[in-house]
Amino acid sequence: MADTIKIRAQVQGDIADIRILMQHPMETGQRKDEKGDLLPVNFIKTFRVLHNGQPLIDGQLNTSVSKNPLFAFKARGIKTGDRLTVSWNDNLGDKRQDEITVA
């Protein structure tokens, strides 16, 4: 299984600043290894952010996103004690899900 998804949420008033770092190689299939062989395509296809079990973001990615993508956004209505769950699935069938409680 992939490395932990790092999720940070800072609440100021009724707006939360959320940062998500997804550990993933995000290979395009165009880079070569030390032997000169092409590295196989490997990228996050879909990701989802849930707020207390309800969808906040449903996203799709492709090979144009860099290694270990970082997403940052603001959201209203997130409070201390709420749960944020982030999950992704890649083109090889690997998946990862992590959750935090907003502090």
For the sheet containing 83-90, what is the strand order? Answer: 54-60, 44-51, 83-90, 95-101
Residue 51 belongs to a domain: yes
41 found inside a domain: yes
Q: Render pLDDT for 23-38 as a digit per residue (tens, 0 to 9).
A: 999 999 999 999 999 9
pLDDT tens for each residue of 3-56 = 999 999 999 999 999 999 999 999 999 999 999 999 999 999 999 999 999 999
Domain count along the chain:
1
Question: Considering the domain boundaries, does residue 11 fall inside one?
Answer: yes
The answer to the question of residue 1 being in a domain is no
| DSSP structural state of residue 27 | B
- The pTM assigned to this predicted structure is 0.92
- Residue 67, domain CATH: 2.60.40.10
Torsion of CA 80, 5, 72, 63, to 10 degrees: -160
Report d(CA 92, CA 98) in Å as an integer.
Answer: 19
In a domain, 55, yes or no: yes
- Residue-number span of the structural domain to which 24 is assigned: 6-101
Q: Is residue 29 part of a domain?
A: yes
